[in-house]
Amino acid sequence: MRKVRDYDAELKALGDKARALKAKRVEQLGQLVAATGADALDAETLAGVLLDAIGSKDASAKEAWRAKGAVFFQRRGRKGGGAAAIDGSGAAAEPGGDAAGGSGGTANG
């Protein structure tokens, strides 16, 4: 005899997992803002910068931002710490720390 599947329980479990993944993503984005030093900007300025980055058609500028972001994460990976890094490498995110990579470098990541 076939085992009866509980579709409602499976849907609930999938919904719970999706909510947990979304919450983790939001937390990581907040950590990214803090780690880059972009938390010093007011919300309107930060939103404007991100909207400009998203709307940019300049491929060379986007590539330059991506490269800065990659360097930023590589530097973060070499620093030690107990908390998980934004990129998941295991290094700590230090609020107000090395902002050399800039906030634009990670906007298109």
What is this structure's pTM? 0.60
The long-range contacts involving 65-69, CB below 8 angstroms and separated by at least 24 positions, are 65/102, 65/104, 65/105, 65/106, 65/107, 65/108, 66/105, 66/108, 66/109, 67/105, 68/101, 68/102, 68/104, 68/105, 69/101, 69/105, 69/106, 69/108, 69/109
- For the stretch 56-75, pLDDT in tens is 999 999 999 999 999 999 98
Q: What is the pLDDT of residue 79?
A: 62
Confidence at 101, pLDDT banded by 50, 70, 90 = very low
Answer for the pair 92, 85: CB distance below 8 angstroms, yes or no: yes
